[in-house]
Amino acid sequence: MESLGVIVLTGGGSTRMGRHKPALDVGGRPIIARILEACAGLPLVVAGDGAAVPPHVRVVREEPPGGGPVAGIAAGFTALISPYAAHSAPSAPSLSRVAVLAGDLPFLTRAALEDLDGALEEDPSAELALAVDHEQRVNWLCGVWRTGVLARRLEAVGDPAGVSVKRLIDSSCRALVADASGWSADVDTPDDLAAARDAATRQR
């Protein structure tokens, strides 16, 4: 995954939870800490609220603040790509793929990221890879994009404020990666949080 960068979105309103989800404790650690562990060593930007994010991790705000996930993706993408765009030499490092992750994925693993990234390697026609759970529910914010595709889609939507993730994805050709163990499960409600905490306890 040498050419993979990561955007973690933490700007949601958490209306159903009532609390900032990435900072919630699951298994003795904030959810955001668990995500960052899965992404350790990869170029990474957090887009949104920096609560519970370690000081060494770069945090940017979406415009406007609270402007929705696509606004967060746009801000994170600019921050993630700009250091690489400054290099023009053929041998300069580049990011050919970008993971876009919700900030409430307590069971994301490095192996799961590798599976998502590998799906693009295996299928040259796929423009992004997304997680799909055992009930065939796709998590639109647990996936890996080809960098050029994401750049074009962001340009196509124009002002990202209030734009839905499904509109950003639109008709992009996607590979679906099966999640049989729950690594793509998010935490939207108090019941989800209770279930995640129970699962984390069982994993110890």
Q: What secondary structure, in 3-state letters, does 113-156 show?
A: HHHHHHHHHHCCCCCEEEEEECCCCEEEEEEEEEHHHHHHHHHH
Count the helices and strands in the chain (H runs, E runs): 6, 9
Supply the pLDDT for residue 92: 47
- Judging by beta carbons within 10 Å of its beta carbon (0-12, 13-18, 19+), is residue 133 exposed, middle or buried? middle
Nearest CA-CA partner of 8 in 65, 51, 59? 59
CATH number of 4-203: 3.90.550.10
81: three-class secondary structure by DSSP: helix
Instruction: Determine the Cα–Cα distance for residues 161 and 174; give it in Å rounded to an integer.
Output: 24
Percent of the residues in the chain that have a pLDDT greater than 90, as a whole number: 83
Residues 153 and 134: beta-carbon distance below 8 Å: no
Using the predicted structure, report yes or no on whether residue 14 has a pLDDT greater than 90: no
Residue pLDDT, tens place only, 143-154: 999 999 999 999
pTM for this predicted structure: 0.94
Residue pLDDT, tens place only, 45-80: 999 999 999 999 999 999 999 999 999 999 999 999
Using the predicted structure, report yes or no on whether residue 87 has a pLDDT greater than 70: no
Q: Which of 83-97, 111-125, 131-145 has the lowest mean pLDDT?
A: 83-97
Confidence of residue 93 (pLDDT cuts 50, 70, 90): low
Confidence of residue 19 (pLDDT cuts 50, 70, 90): confident
Confidence of residue 184 (pLDDT cuts 50, 70, 90): very high
Mean of pLDDT over the chain: 92
Using the predicted structure, report yes or no on whether residue 118 has a pLDDT greater than 60: yes
- Judging by beta carbons within 10 Å of its beta carbon (0-12, 13-18, 19+), is residue 197 exposed, middle or buried? middle
The better pLDDT of the pair 173, 18 is held by: 173
Give domain limits for the chain.
4-203
